[in-house]
Amino acid sequence: MKQRILMVAAENGALAGAKVGGMADVIRDLPDALAGVDLCADVIMPSYGFLTAVANQPQDLGELTVAFGGRLERVHVFAMPHPQVPEAMIYLLEHALWQSVPGQIYSQGSAERPFADDATKFAFLCASVATALATGRVPMPAVLHLHDWHAGCLAMLRAFVPEFSALKEIECVFSIHNLALQGIRPLSQDSSSFAAWFPELFASLTQGQKQLITDPRYPHCVNPMRMGIVLSDKVHLVSPSYAKEVLQPSKPEAGFFGGEGLEHDLQLKANDGKVVGILNGCVYSAAADVNPKPKARIQGAEFKQLLSAIETALVQWLGHQTQVSGVDMIAFARTQAHWRQAMAEQVPSLLLTSVGRLTDQKVLLLRHQLPSGLSVLETLLNALKQIKPTALFILLGSGDVSIAKSFQALGAKYDNLLFLQGYNEALSEALYQHGDLFLMPSSFEPCGISQMLAMRAGQPCLVHGVGGLKDTVEDGVTGFAFNGNSLDEQAEAFLQRLMQAIACFEGKTWPKVRAAAMAQRFDWHSIAEQYRQQLYCKV
């Protein structure tokens, strides 16, 4: 009989509409890989008011009575077979509290009360999962696997609440996908606080227990990410290099992002041998392994296909707006101009691409101001115009409004930048398939999936040599990497390495780099064996 793992997560790419970031890809793909090493991984998560509607024949398991917020809440439990993995189950929890933004998983919140809505609904998720397990409504697994800060409170409930003491009998693993997001909220005196969520527990906490769950920098706040780190049996980081970086304090002024205030807890855990770095995987088709064909430079017909994908995405985005946005108007104009060039069989001499969230994690370096007064991105565009006048940089992303506005302004100023504000799966895939060089200058990257997807399609990457990027891109062999001990040094190194990559693109070694990138395999099934041996074995 297979050992069962229960994963607690906020996202799951196995269900339509349940993906926001890379964690959803992991929760989608990992159960299938684990099945290959004789492990059965179930997933439990909120339904958010819409996932049961897209579930495949969900089974109604009845209601739970969950103590939360000083009240007894009734939570409906559904179960469905995993759509890709025989024997595995997905449990969906229904309650109005998980529908704070209809049709969406996360809430934006506000600068005054960051994470307020989300912290409350994920604390409620943890209470509901603990109750479901303690009452037997969901079968007790051999291992409880918590993902990111959303599930951190469950490690605390397991450790502190007598009613959930049975959970101490099973191993608890905590995976960190992004240490920068920690779900920090007040200890008390707020409707979204520990005291509001668990009033009886708050009243009974000892000083020692409070010290284990409060934030080291803000002693009047609780930190769900810290709960997961301190109170789980093992901590998993999603790449070996990131597992080392988080043991060091962050130095934003030097362009280094490490433990983000939790490095001391992680160091203590590492000293006990309880910190594990295992790279995330990627899904590859059997056909690519049998007959890999690295692509040649983009041709007219392919460029037209890419432009059509861009236009389709723009139309879909506009369908959700009451007014046409300036950024989409600029993108339409740029697309039409390039379409006219494509009709004349003029294609970009070099196609740079980038796909990712508009956050400081991803694009801080592109926005960094150089001594010249120009940003790194603007300097890049000027350099491209000089050395390759017909080159094009297509940047796809959504997120921070201020970042989007700055990129929009550059998109209006430079005809060699096509900035697309939004996300579209088909367009992302087209950019991976048709680009020549993928840019990923992340300030930190726990693992990263975009570089793997670009390499899978035969597109080499230029990356910052940190975290999972360092572990997946070999400089000068499968792609290009840069480093630096400050933002200025990183910016200079990035621009210099870009020029060297472009020179390589014009030379004889480019096909070898491209073929080597495409031949890389970060296969989930081999990675699953590391999970079995390093995470799921007896503590």
pLDDT attached to residue 292 = 56
- Residue 380: pLDDT band (50, 70, 90) is very high
* Region of 476 on the Ramachandran plot (φ > 0 left; ψ -120 to 50 alpha; else beta): left
* Share of residues in the chain with pLDDT > 70 (%): 97
d(CA 159, CA 168): 7
DSSP H or E stretch at residue 113: none
From CA 424, how far away is CA 210, in angstroms rounded? 43
pLDDT value of residue 375: 97
Min mean pLDDT across 295-299, 445-449, 473-477 is at 295-299
The mean per-residue pLDDT over the stretch 83-96 comes to 94
439: number of CA atoms within 13 Å, CB side? 26
Please report which confidence band the pLDDT of residue 288 belongs to, taking 50, 70 and 90 as the band edges: low
- Per-residue burial over 211-235, b if 16 or more Cβ lie within 10 Å, else e, is ebbbbeeeeebbbbbbbbbbbbbbb
> Is 531 domain-assigned?
no
Single residue among 248, 281, 314 that ends a domain in this structure = 281
Query: Is residue 226 domain-shared with residue 251, that is, in the same domain?
Result: yes
Same domain for 436 and 387, yes or no, is yes
H-type alpha helices, 135-223? 152-160, 194-197, 199-204, 207-213
Number of H helices and E strands in the chain, helices first, is: 22, 17
pTM above 0.85, yes or no: yes
Residues 187, 39, single domain; the answer is yes
Report H helices in 281-375: 286-290, 300-318, 326-343, 360-367
- Mean pLDDT over 185-205 rounds to 96
**In-domain check, residue 209:** yes
Question: Is residue 537, in this structure, part of any structural domain at all?
Answer: no
Say how far apart CA 499 and CA 16 lie, in whole Å: 41
Q: Which of 454, 431, 426, 433 is nearest to 312 (CA)?
A: 426
Q: How confident is the model at residue 322 (pLDDT cuts 50, 70, 90)?
A: low
Helical spans, DSSP H, in 358-466? 360-367, 376-387, 401-413, 425-434, 450-456
CA 304, 310, 315: angle at the middle one, nearest 5? Answer: 125
Helices 401-413 & 326-343 angle (0-180, nearest 10): 40
Residue 527 placed within a domain: no
Domain termination residue (choose one: 281, 309, 331): 281
pLDDT exceeding 90 applies to what percent of the chain? 79
> What amino acid occupies position 301?
A
Same domain for 229 and 262? yes
> d(Cα 85, Cα 81) in Å, to the nearest integer?
8
Residues 416 and 391: beta-carbon distance below 8 Å: yes
In a domain, residue 528? The reply is no
- How many structural domains compose the chain? 2
Residue 539 is predicted with a pLDDT of 46
Q: Which residues contact 349 (CB under 8 A, 6 or more apart)?
A: 388, 389, 390, 391
Q: Among residues 164, 125, 110, 140, which one has the least CA distance to residue 47?
A: 125
* Domain coverage including residue 37: 3-281
Q: Quick one: 84 and 152 in the same domain?
A: yes
pLDDT digits (tens, 9 = 90+) for 7-44: 999 999 999 889 888 899 999 999 999 999 999 999 99
* Domain shared by 483 and 338, yes or no: yes
Find tokens 């000027």 and name the residue.
382
Q: Which two tokens stand for residue 120?
A: 């409350």
Residues 480, 348, single domain; the answer is yes
Same domain flag for 269 and 323: no
Residue 538 located in a structural domain: no
Tens-digit pLDDT profile for residues 407-436:
999 999 999 999 999 888 899 999 999 999
Between β-strands 392-397 and 417-421, what pairing exists: parallel, antiparallel or unpaired?
parallel
Q: From CA 126, how far away is CA 117, in angstroms rounded?
A: 15
pLDDT at 503 over 50: yes
Do 137 and 211 share a structural domain?
yes
Q: Give me the pLDDT at residue 2, please.
A: 85
CB 100 within 8 A of CB 58: no
Average pLDDT value for residue range 187-216: 96
Asked if 276 and 295 sit in the same domain, the reply is no
Q: Cα 377 to chain center, whole Å?
A: 23
Residues 277 and 342 in one domain: no
* Cβ partners under 8 Å of residue 505, min gap 6: 350, 436, 437
Alpha carbon distance 174, 137 (integer Å): 23
> Helix or strand or coil: residue 498?
helix
Per-residue tokens: 377: 């991105």
Average pLDDT of the residues of the chain: 93
The domain spanning residue 60 has which CATH number? 3.40.50.2000
pLDDT at 132: 98
**Phi and psi dihedrals of 10, rounded to 5?**
-90, -25
